Amino acid sequence: MNKIRKFAWVTMIAATAVAVGCGPVGTGAETDTAGSRTPKILSAAHLGQKAGELSADGRMIVGRGKDYVPIAEDPVALSARLQKSMAERRAVAWRIVEAMLEPQKIMVGSESFDVPLWHTWYEGKQGSREVEGKIKLFFAKLKACRTANCQKSMEQIAAETVASTDTKDLARSLTDANLGRMTASLQGAAGQPENLGRGGTIYSPSFVEHILAQARSIETCHSLRTTNTDPGPSSDRFSHCLAEFPRSATMLKTVWLPLQQGVPAPRTDATAMTALIDGGSWPSSPASQVGSDKIYAIESAEGKTYGLRALHISTKDIREWMWITLWWSPSPDSDFGQDRPASIARFNGGVWANYKMCVTSAFAEGDPAPWSSFQQGQPQLAAALKATHEALVRRANVSPDRQLTTWCSNPNVETESNNGMSNCIGCHQYASSWDPEVNRLTDYHYTLEPNPRARYPQHGRAKGRNNFASDFTWSFFFESTPALIRQERERNPRMDW
């Protein structure tokens, strides 16, 4: 297959002396001082320039963190408990956040750094394409196995594929190209709505293993054309083409920003929340300069410092997933940060104490007074939740479906018009579903249209489907998971599944 796109160059032979592109090895990471809270920044800047396709090893190799361990509680009971109580919902969400931050050690030169658990997992197509690599490796192993007439199941080969490498080369992640693309996709959101929602995606080992084990049926996902009213296949399956993910499955989205640009400082107090839900959109917020001691920061191979301005975390603790999002804030101890456990600050020199959080675990709000538990101890959080709830009630009252929904959106991510009143789960329900009106797969921004059609009630917040074609995962659509599987299948046309 010819992949050259341009031929407008002159063939010539002129052996020109060219200096080899290999620069001096620099220093890199900042040093930590005993007793100081200034965190060390994981840096790839020490790697120096490449030397052709000769590759130096051992520079940014981190062990793959363990899989996520779900909450030890029956998922149905857990779901019901969380739907009924905002206090319990938020407490569980902070526990999950804490689990995601568990530090993994990496040695860079003679220095040790803490890398959050999530940062050691598998990057999707907007990252360094680790999931795609696993799909390629899975098919190669499957082919080798079938050629040798092995009797292993797809599940066994999937497990072997995921287990076959227990390290991650962060040098591949910490580059301007990798981090800048994520930033660019977000900045382009206002003018290019199709880009919104795309950032750097990361998946837990069990998420990736499930994709591989389900490859045969996932390949068919996009051809099913399930509409909103199609019934689900069975009581224990949301999708006709995919068994549900295991409880340890986790998907994350990171959004980075070069710190030199400043970081937006969104308001999320009661007044801002009323304006948000009534108006539908986050107002633009001014950027402020943030030091790397106040935000989770890394340094790219090119020497640019990036801060993590937002982090989505979705775990399959319950059937319809837990939907958690963190955003950086200059006033982190107010409203949505007021109940943050002190233990969150023990990671990465305390930078995680600068993030606020919201969470959804269901479409419908089951807590009649989500603010009530916080009135005494966290009054600003109570006020923000009360304002949010009251605005959602007003929304429900004028909606044909009358459903009182939950809310959770990230002011550093869901910045497009009408996206601020989202609730995560509502958007994700439409992943891989078919929209017969436009005769194509649903794109998330259909829910954001000014006058949403009946099939996207309340801008997607309310439950609008009987089935969930890809178990709420947008990666099937945005990262072309079925197409990647089909592509590998086509490379091995005679292979017996």
Binding interface with other proteins (CB under 8 A): 1-22, 25, 48, 50-58, 61, 123, 125-130, 132-134, 136-137, 140-141, 144, 147, 164-169, 172, 175, 177-178, 181, 198, 478-480, 483, 487, 491
Task: At 357, list the tokens.
Answer: 């959080």
Which letter does DSSP use for residue 207 in this model? H
Q: Report the residue number, 22 or 77, with the smaller CB distance to other proteins.
A: 22
- The distance of closest approach from Cβ of residue 490 to other proteins in the complex, given in angstroms and rounded to an integer, is 11
Q: How far apart are the first and last CA of the chain?
A: 25
CB of 216 to other proteins, least distance (A): 19
Report the run of H or E that residue 425 belongs to, with start and end.
helix 425-428
Cα–Cα distance measured from residue 344 to residue 338, given in angstroms and rounded to the nearest whole number: 12
Look up residue 234 and give its DSSP letter.
Answer: B
* Nearer Cβ to other proteins (164/288): 164
For the bound state, the minimum distance from the C-beta of residue 5 to other proteins, rounded and expressed in Å, comes to 6
Return the closest-CA partner of residue 308 out of 323, 320, 334, 290. Answer: 290
- Considering beta carbons, is residue 14 or 34 the nearer one to other proteins? 14
Distance CA 75, CA 94 (A): 17
DSSP run (H or E) holding 91:
helix 86-100
For other proteins, the closer CB: 35 or 58? 58
| CB-CB contact of 252 with 201 (8 Å) | yes
List of residues 6+ apart from 38 with CB closer than 8 A = 30, 32, 293, 349
d(CA 447, CA 423) in angstroms, rounded, equals 12
The least distance separating other proteins from the CB of residue 212, rounded to whole angstroms, comes to: 13
What minimum distance in Å lies between the beta carbon of 202 and other proteins?
13
Q: Residue 458 is which amino acid?
A: Q
10 Å CB burial of residue 54 (0-12, 13-18, 19+) is exposed
Closer of 183 and 467 to other proteins (Cβ): 183
Q: Between residues 50 and 394, which has the closer beta carbon with respect to other proteins?
A: 50
| Shortest distance in whole angstroms from residue 58 CB to other proteins | 6
Distance of CA 488 to the CA centre of its chain: 25
Nearest to other proteins of 208, 385 (CB atom): 208
Task: Please state the closest distance from residue 44 (CB atom) to other proteins, in A.
Answer: 13
In the complex, the smallest distance separating the C-beta of residue 327 from other proteins, rounded to whole angstroms, is 24
Compare residues 346 and 486 and give the one whose CB is closer to other proteins.
486
Measured from the CB atom, is 146 or 240 closer to other proteins? 146
Query: What are phi and psi for residue 255, nearest 5 degrees?
Result: -130, 115
Which residue, 113 or 456, has its beta carbon nearer to other proteins?
113
Smaller CB distance to other proteins: residue 220 or 492? 492
Spatial distance between the Cα atoms of 182 and 186, rounded to a whole number of angstroms: 7
CB of residue 46 to other proteins, shortest distance in Å: 12
Write phi, then psi, for 75 (nearest 5 degrees): -60, -30
Give the chain's largest Cα–Cα span. Answer: 79
List b or e across 64-92, with b for residues whose CB sees 16 or more CB atoms inside 10 angstroms: bbebbebbeeeeeebbebbbebbbbbbeb
Q: What is the CA radius of gyration of the chain?
A: 23
Tokens for 147?
């050629």
User: Would you give the distance in Å from CA 100 to the centre of its chain?
Assistant: 12
SS3 of residue 266 by DSSP: coil
CB 116, min distance to other proteins, A: 18
Q: What is the smallest separation between the CB atom of 168 and other proteins, expressed in angstroms?
A: 6
